[in-house]
Amino acid sequence: MVRYVYDFADGGRDMADLLGGKGANLAEMTRLGLPVPPGFTVTTEACRAFLATGAEPQGMAEEVTRHLTALETAAGRELGRPDDPLLLSVRSGARFSMPGMMETVLDIGLTDASVPGLAKVSGSERFAWDSYRRLLQMFGSTVMGVDAALFEEAITRLKEAREAPDDVHLEAADLQGLVETYKRVIRDETGQDFPQSPAEQLRLAILAVFRSWNGERARLYRRREHIPDDLGTAVTVQRMVFGNLGADSGSGVAFTRDPATGRPGLYGDYLANAQGEDVVAGIRNAVPLAELERLDPRSYRRLRDHAQTLERHYRDLCDIEFTIERGTLWMLQTRVGKRTAEAAFAIAAELVEEGLITPDESLARVGGEGLARLMFPRFDTSATGEPLAHGIPASPGAAVGAVVFDSAEAVRRAGAGEDVILVRQETTPDDLPGMVAAQAVLTSRGGKTSHAAVVARGMGKVCVCGAEELSVDTGARRFTTRDGTVVEEGTTVSVDGSAGAVYPGAVPLVASAAMRYLETGEQTDGIVTAVARALSRADSVRRLEVRANADTPEDAARARRFGAQGIGLCRTEHMFLGERRRLVEEMILARTDSARDRALAALLPLQRQDFTGILAAMDGLPVTIRLLDPPLHEFLPDRTELAVRVASAEAAGRRPDPHDVELLDAVSRMHEENPMLGLRGVRLGLVVPGLVAMQVRAIAEAVVERVRAGGSPEAEIMVPLVGAVEELRIEREEVERVLAEVSKESGVAVHCPVGTMIELPRAALTAGRIAGEAQFFSFGTNDLTQTTWGFSRDDVEAAFFSAYLDKGVFATSPFETIDRDGVGRLVRIAVEEGRAARPDLKIGVCGEHGGDPDSVHFFHGAGLDYVSCSPFRVPVARLEAGRAAL
Ligand code: ADP
Ligand code: MG
Ligand code: MG
């Protein structure tokens, strides 16, 4: 028989697949002996069965009843008993944390009949009515589908009528009236009454949590975080403890370290006389935990001890939700906490120092995307005046954009290409689309553990929260600063998530400390030391080499400073641009061999000079130079432009410029419907006489020049877009011929390995034969993705990729992360057959995928020798190559 329900005492943290993260960690805390209110968890398996069939799985209801009875027996009272009701929370919890995305219903079991009983045992009428109105509100919206705003409006109207600044100032009689209002709202909206049977409440709440897995918010979040849609959520049922029983009660959120900086020490927010939802929702402003130390030192000390127990046990930063009921501390949740990139590096280094984790574990806990974030520029505030406002630095980084005041506007403007800053009093899960669209989130309320802060950190989005000096008027679409400055929607501001400040206008940017370190090796602060350690660990364990894609001596030099071990792709097309266009035109238009040779001869010294500079910058390291790849007509003027020039001259009765006429004729002749699949790559070399010879001669002569200057040039020659081994054989003969010629002329033996790009499916599928002629392979995964999928990248990304992502055809663009099943399969075939034919075949990848963390892990697994990426991604690739080797 399948088991659908587990008591906390029967679970553990390794059971997160079945019990969800929350349920598994509650079980773990129970087993560690921490004070957790007793309860049980209904499994994700039950949820999956329910969502698949629409009916409760067989036996689940009986199991729930059995566990409930055990809970009642232990508590010595029954769910909803009129004179002393046992109350429950019903909580969602998936395998991966999805903060605020699904539903939780508190105070289950309370009914008209048991409110007086609760008032009597608690000694507080107010508390009893407050709990009941909370139940009606949560149950009404979550389980019965009433628009949550209707409840919000009712309580706001009541507070206004009573002139109560917040809900703590509402009295028992007010809340009793509110209960009547809420019941009426439920009846009007659903045609049904709020159920007065505690058992029925429980059953419906469990099913509603199951259903919330497929809610719109939850689905959007999963898509963004790449969480699979078929996992389901578990449901945790737990005895209620009460933070809203008066001044000696309260709720809070704590981190075992600062999640923004990683600094050690208990960190968090506390709200007296409140249930936990109030803290996260930012309804009232929470106070720092230091305040709890003053209010209730005993509970504070316990919390600190438990935090330490958890951090030592999990060997990582944990976040904690807790509630204090009349001086007794209860632990309601823990998990390994989300953190900023900066904190991730700092904590990973610190825990090694403390002997809690090994250097390899430490490396596993940092990531390339985080490193990339630390490399982003920071604001240069040296010349800016006073900030508009200060707030809490909740998620670091620098963002500039136009302020907007609601999620829909953020989405609309971002869709039109504008950078926006989402400004709210506080955010709720409904603001998620706007937060995704915005460059930064700015709120006037809530602490570092508010919804805005937690979600922004998870996304790596800049966030300043709790900027209390701002008064945000969402309706009028503006905010006002303390000194009365009014900032209207659409105004540009700069948000500094590291310092917690907002500046008017666009503040200029400077290099970050991590970037300065990578450029100069200068270790200025702790975070830079942590980055340096992670990178050096990665370098010592990785098998993949990391090269850079660089076309100029400057880029080559930077890549080298960033740790590149060579150039994996040096494109030569830019060497045909600018002032050299004229020579290229002459070459293309040449009618005689001698005219063409003249043009090529003029290009030769210029190219040689380019190569000499790059080989000097990469002295002693391999430089893979790709022969000319794009179609030649790309170097000619635009056809329409030429046609207009010629036609308007004719219309004006003038004789058109003969050069224009000649060019127009050539461009028309060379026009291609699909240039991507046209006369380019190796095909050019085979049909345009002299082109390859000129390029190879320039390379070989550059090598000679460097050798004579005492250098160690290591040029490699790479032939693009090969589909058949014959193409490569013909081109390679030409290359070898020229190399031999230059060797003979110069007396310097020039040996350049000759290899090919693998960027057509046919090349991958005939790699064994191609390897007979190639000394190395380099996967051009951009073109290989285009040709495997039949996508023209420039056309499809704008046209339908977002629809494909929405419909789940793929989770990320195959141009960002390698498509393992299709393109990746071709890569594996080519590696296997290439190496079988030539065991010492050197294999790399160039193209955007070389700097993408997930793809780097794939290339490691596929047995490549190196990845090559843009210079700025080199540190990212080094780090990820190290992590892949763990
Ligand atoms: P989320 O996944 O959104 O954090 P939770 O299931 O943790 O949702 O519930 C939200 C809040 O409800 C918790 O932070 C806690 O304060 C409160 N809560 C949950 N269970 C209980 C309980 N047994 N007693 C008191 N409060 C609870
Ligand atoms: Mg919740
Ligand atoms: Mg929680």
Q: What is the distance in A from the centroid of ligand 3 to the CA of 220?
A: 19
**Strand bridging mode 462-465 / 471-473:** unpaired
Annotated binding site: 571, 626, 759, 780-783
Q: What is the distance in A from the centroid of ligand 3 to the CA of 634?
A: 57
> With 90 as the cut, is the pLDDT of residue 840 above it?
yes
Over range 640-658, report the average pLDDT: 91
pLDDT of residue 804: 86
- Residues facing residue 393 across a β-bridge: 464
Residue of the CA atom closest to atom 17 of ligand 1 = 276
Mean pLDDT is highest, among 6-15, 267-276, 588-597, 653-662, for 6-15
- Cβ of residue 89 lying under 6 Å from some atom of ligand 1: yes
More confident residue, 806 or 388: 388
Q: What is the distance in A from the centroid of ligand 3 to the CA of 474?
A: 28
Of 293-307, 316-330, 583-597, 709-723, where does mean pLDDT reach its minimum?
583-597
| Nearest ligand to the CA atom of 277 | 1
Annotated binding site for Mg(2+): 759, 783
Q: What is the distance in A from the centroid of ligand 1 to the CA of 165?
A: 25
Q: What is the distance in A from the centroid of ligand 1 to the CA of 26?
A: 12
Residue of the CA atom closest to atom 22 of ligand 1 = 240
For residues 689 and 593, the answer to whether their CB atoms sit within 8 Å is yes
| Nearest ligand to the CA atom of 278 | 1
Question: What is the DSSP code string of 328-396?
Answer: EEEEEEEEEPP--HHHHHHHHHHHHHTTSS-HHHHHHT--HHHHHHHHS-EE-TTS----SEE-EEEE-
Residue in this structure with the two tokens 């919206």, named with its chain if needed: 141
- Cβ of residue 131 lying under 6 Å from some atom of ligand 1: no
Residue of the CA atom closest to atom 1 of ligand 1 = 100
| Nearest ligand to the CA atom of 89 | 1
342-367 pLDDT, tens digit each: 999 999 999 999 999 999 999 999 99
* 391 contact partners, CB below 8 Å, separation of at least 6: 442, 443, 444, 464, 465, 466, 467, 468, 469, 470, 500, 501, 502
Q: What is the distance in A from the centroid of ligand 1 to the CA of 240?
A: 9
Annotated binding site for substrate: 571, 626, 759, 780-783
396: pLDDT confidence band, cut at 50, 70 and 90?
Answer: confident
pLDDT of residue 490: 96
- Cβ of residue 251 lying under 6 Å from some atom of ligand 1: yes
Residue 769 to residue 767: CA distance in whole angstroms: 5
- Cβ of residue 241 lying under 6 Å from some atom of ligand 1: yes
- Cβ of residue 321 lying under 6 Å from some atom of ligand 1: yes
Question: What is the DSSP code string of 724-780?
Answer: SHHHHHHHHHHHHHHHHHHHHHHSS-----EEEEE-SHHHHHTHHHHHTT-SEEEEE
168: pLDDT confidence band, cut at 50, 70 and 90?
Answer: confident
- Cβ of residue 342 lying under 6 Å from some atom of ligand 1: no
User: Would you give the end-to-end CA distance of the chain in angstroms?
Assistant: 39
- Cβ of residue 100 lying under 6 Å from some atom of ligand 1: yes
> Ligand 1 pocket test: which of 108, 333, 335 has the largest number of ligand atoms within 8 Å of its C-beta?
333
CATH number of 67-239: 1.20.80.30
Residue 526: phi and psi, rounded to 5, are: -60, -40
Residue 375 to residue 426: CA distance in whole angstroms: 29
Q: Where are the domains of the chain?
A: 67-239, 250-336, 376-510, 542-631+672-884
Alpha helix locations (H) across 275-340? 276-281, 289-295, 297-314
Of 421-435, 700-714, 798-812, where does mean pLDDT reach its minimum?
798-812
Residue of the CA atom closest to atom 13 of ligand 1 = 276
> With 90 as the cut, is the pLDDT of residue 164 above it?
no
Question: What is the DSSP code string of 14-28?
Answer: GGHHHHHHHHHHHHH
Specify the ligand 1 atom closest to the Cα of 239: 23
Specify the ligand 1 atom closest to the Cα of 88: 23
- Cβ of residue 91 lying under 6 Å from some atom of ligand 1: yes
Q: Nearest to residue 52, comparing CAs of 232, 237, 235, 236?
A: 232
Fold annotation for 250-336: D-amino Acid Aminotransferase; Chain A, domain 1 (3.30.470)
Q: What is the distance in A from the centroid of ligand 3 to the CA of 321?
A: 6
Q: What is the distance in A from the centroid of ligand 3 to the CA of 91?
A: 8
Residue in this structure with the two tokens 């003038």, named with its chain if needed: 654
Q: How many CB atoms lie within 10 A of CB 527?
A: 22
- Cβ of residue 681 lying under 6 Å from some atom of ligand 1: no
Residue in this structure with the two tokens 């989405």, named with its chain if needed: 411
Are domains 250-336 and 542-631+672-884 of this chain identical in fold? Answer: no
Over range 847-871, report the average pLDDT: 95
- What is the enclosing helix (H) or strand (E) of 442? strand 440-443
* 465 contact partners, CB below 8 Å, separation of at least 6: 391, 392, 394, 426, 441, 442, 443, 445, 446, 447, 448, 450, 452, 453
- Cβ of residue 25 lying under 6 Å from some atom of ligand 1: no
- Cβ of residue 275 lying under 6 Å from some atom of ligand 1: yes
Over range 856-864, report the average pLDDT: 98
Q: What is the distance in A from the centroid of ligand 2 to the CA of 49?
A: 23
Of 275-284, 665-674, 735-744, where does mean pLDDT reach its minimum?
275-284
> Ligand 1 pocket test: which of 202, 277, 279, 325 has the largest number of ligand atoms within 8 Å of its C-beta?
277
| Nearest ligand to the CA atom of 97 | 1
- Cβ of residue 109 lying under 6 Å from some atom of ligand 1: no
325-334 pLDDT, tens digit each: 999 999 999 9
Catalytic residue numbers, as ranges: 451, 846
Residue in this structure with the two tokens 């013909």, named with its chain if needed: 730
Residue in this structure with the two tokens 């001086």, named with its chain if needed: 327
Q: Nearest to residue 19, comparing CAs of 338, 337, 335?
A: 335
- Residues facing residue 545 across a β-bridge: 866
187-210 pLDDT, tens digit each: 999 999 999 999 999 999 999 999
- What is the enclosing helix (H) or strand (E) of 319? strand 318-325
User: From residue 178, how far is each of 35, 106, 129, 555 by CA, in Å?
Assistant: 34, 17, 9, 67
Specify the ligand 1 atom closest to the Cα of 236: 6
**Strand bridging mode 501-504 / 492-496:** antiparallel
User: From residue 73, how far is each of 113, 325, 774 by CA, in Å?
Assistant: 21, 21, 77
- Cβ of residue 238 lying under 6 Å from some atom of ligand 1: yes
9: its two tokens: 């005492």
283: pLDDT confidence band, cut at 50, 70 and 90?
Answer: low
Q: What is the distance in A from the centroid of ligand 2 to the CA of 245?
A: 21
Percentage of residues in the chain having pLDDT higher than 90: 79
User: From residue 390, how far is each of 284, 378, 443 by CA, in Å?
Assistant: 19, 17, 11
> Ligand 1 pocket test: which of 321, 334, 335, 449 has the largest number of ligand atoms within 8 Å of its C-beta?
321
> Ligand 1 pocket test: which of 332, 430, 449 has the largest number of ligand atoms within 8 Å of its C-beta?
332
Residue of the CA atom closest to atom 24 of ligand 1 = 240
Give me the architecture of the 376-510 domain, per CATH: 3-Layer(bba) Sandwich (3.50)
For residues 116 and 131, the answer to whether their CB atoms sit within 8 Å is no
Question: What is the DSSP code string of 523-578?
Answer: --SHHHHHHHHHHHHHHHH--SEEEEE--SHHHHHHHHHTT--SEEEE--GGGGSG
For residues 413 and 404, the answer to whether their CB atoms sit within 8 Å is yes
For residues 140 and 201, the answer to whether their CB atoms sit within 8 Å is no
Specify the ligand 1 atom closest to the Cα of 242: 25
Q: What is the distance in A from the centroid of ligand 1 to the CA of 111?
A: 20
CATH number of 542-631+672-884: 3.20.20.60
- Cβ of residue 449 lying under 6 Å from some atom of ligand 1: no
Residue of the CA atom closest to atom 15 of ligand 1 = 276
Residue of the CA atom closest to atom 14 of ligand 1 = 276
Of 31-45, 398-412, 441-455, 777-791, where does mean pLDDT reach its minimum?
441-455
> Ligand 1 pocket test: which of 90, 91, 103, 319 has the largest number of ligand atoms within 8 Å of its C-beta?
91
- Cβ of residue 37 lying under 6 Å from some atom of ligand 1: yes
pLDDT of residue 282: 63
Q: How many CB atoms lie within 10 A of CB 79?
A: 23
